[in-house]
Amino acid sequence: MRKSRRNEEAPRQNGSADFETNPVGLQDGHDDNDTGRRREIRSKYRDLINTVQQNREDMLSPSTDKLTEVLEEANKLFKDVRRAREAALDAQLLVVATDLGKEKASQLFSEGSAFDPTAFAEHLLSFMGLNRLEDGDGGPQNAGAADGYLPRDAWHRLSRRVECCFRTAPSFHYMMGSFHAEPPAPKQRTERQRKAPTKEAKRIMPTQLKKMEESHQEATEKEVERILGYLKTYHQDDPTSPISYYEFVVDPNSFARTVENIFHTSFLIRDGLARMYLDSDKLPCIAPVEEGDVEAASSSSRKQCIISISPKIWKELIDTFEIKDSIIQPPEPHNE
């Protein structure tokens, strides 16, 4: 009745009619005078509102998309809205559709929270291809499937479907091939034939080593005797004055000679030919031992210590004791 009256007042136009699709806004234009078109838009909006209100249960059903279809139809009508009256109907439809959408979403949430494991298992078996009409061969993969059998690729099919839901580590590739490759055959070791030393070589080699040891020992003994001579001479010049150990062994012109002097002087202390003591300033001093006291000093118990020296300490000793010349002169070079 009311609907037919509206149709009589504003009959629908057959065919496609072109209308200006300007941006949405309440603006004045040539279409404002088209009263018939405005009535048609208002009529369609009222029909959509009545459809939503009368078919509320169908709109709330999760298995239908009628609410989406209504919203899409409203979007098409809104392109031709130019005046406030049609915009108000569009806002009214949007309010009704929003309430229905909120209620439908709450129903979906409550329904989704209930999980039915039996139904899930049925869907899973159906996806994996469970055949309930024929009996399987009773293999291991069919042990969990009752009243039917699963195909051989059932679990592969499931894995391909769910692999996108898990983060997997990248596969490992071997640059030099697989580790399962056979190891290379061990190379045969060829033993080198050793030449047996001749009788002459056996006789000469120990002799050479013995001569080198004797020459080195003789050189050390000669150097120790030479340093002992310097110590006795320096002590006889002023017997009452103590001889500073550092002034005696330090060579201000050569760090290597200083190390050699300390090394050779240690033999004098070991053999009891010289002794060391601390003066009133707690500094080490050295003095020769009288010939009659050498045997007694060598048999008595002596304390030993290790002296370490570096180029830095060597320079500090030279500056502290103001050493200008070396007491122990370097040995004179001689031609063999």
The CATH superfamily assigned to 214-295+302-321 is: Structural maintenance of chromosome 1. Chain E (1.10.10.580)
Cα–Cα distance measured from residue 128 to residue 158, given in angstroms and rounded to the nearest whole number: 6
**pLDDT (tens place) for every residue of the chain, 336 residues total:** 334 434 444 444 433 344 444 444 444 445 445 788 888 888 888 888 888 888 888 887 777 788 888 888 888 888 888 888 888 888 888 888 888 888 888 776 555 556 778 888 888 888 888 887 765 554 444 444 456 788 888 888 998 888 888 877 777 766 666 666 677 778 877 777 766 666 555 555 565 555 556 566 777 888 888 888 888 888 888 888 888 999 999 999 999 999 999 998 888 888 888 888 888 888 999 998 887 665 554 455 566 778 889 999 999 999 999 999 888 888 876 543
pLDDT at 134 (0 to 100)? 61
What are the respective helix, strand and coil percentages of the chain, to the nearest 5? 55, 5, 40
Answer yes or no: are the C-beta atoms of 244 and 285 closer than 8 Å.
yes
CA distances from 78 to 21, 23, 52, 65 (A): 10, 10, 17, 20
Cα distances from 73 to residues 12, 32, 279, in angstroms, run 17, 22, 116
The 10 Å Cβ neighbour count of residue 98 is 11
Q: Could you tell me if 120 and 114 are in contact, meaning their C-beta atoms sit under 8 angstroms apart?
A: no
CA-nearest of 23, 33, 127 to 81 is 23
Domain boundaries, the chain: 35-109, 214-295+302-321
How crowded is the C-beta side of 81, counted as CA atoms within 13 Å?
21
The residues facing 274 across adjacent strands are 288
pTM of this structure? 0.37
Greatest distance between any 2 Cα atoms in the chain: 154
SS3 at position 173: coil
